[in-house]
Amino acid sequence: GESVGLHLPTLSVQEGDNSIINCAYSNSASDYFIWYKQESGKGPQFIIDIRSNMDKRQGQRVTVLLNKTVKHLSLQIAATQPGDSAVYFCAENIPGSGYALNFGKGTSLLVTP
């Protein structure tokens, strides 16, 4: 089946810098995309989502960009903090299955002082 993948498995940034995590998707029928944060030993926590009729959406310190032409999704975190250290997953909806998701493998973000 089609899959969601990530360009980089690990990302190390300094506290205060901006972080960018990238993701490629291949299912052109997907119309909903979402980013989750997962800390060690915990379940995924919702960060931000975006629908296919949008190309940008902003939250608190986070922005998601969607480029449907090249099937690319990115998560931008402004002024990265140590508490942002976690694994970040992008996911796309599986059409026709409620809002069941197809997850990528994740990017580990490490924020250093």
List interacting residues with other proteins (CB under 8 A). Answer: 1, 4, 32, 34, 36, 41-46, 49, 89, 91, 94, 97-106
Roughly how many angstroms between the first and final C-alpha of the chain, as a whole number? 41
The tokens for 17 are: 């810098």
Q: How far is the CB of 110 from other proteins (least distance, A)?
A: 15
Nearer to other proteins, 7 or 32 (CB): 32
Q: How far is the CB of 98 from other proteins (least distance, A)?
A: 4
Nearer to other proteins, 85 or 104 (CB): 104
Eight-state DSSP code of residue 80: -
**Letter string b/e over residues 87-103, b meaning 16 or more CB atoms within 10 A of that residue's CB:** bbbbbbbbeeeeeebbe
Q: How far is the CB of 94 from other proteins (least distance, A)?
A: 7
Residues 50, 4: contact at Cβ < 8 Å?
Answer: no
Q: How far is the CB of 41 from other proteins (least distance, A)?
A: 8
Nearer to other proteins, 44 or 111 (CB): 44
Nearer to other proteins, 9 or 16 (CB): 9
Residue 82 phi/psi, 5-degree rounding, is -55, -35
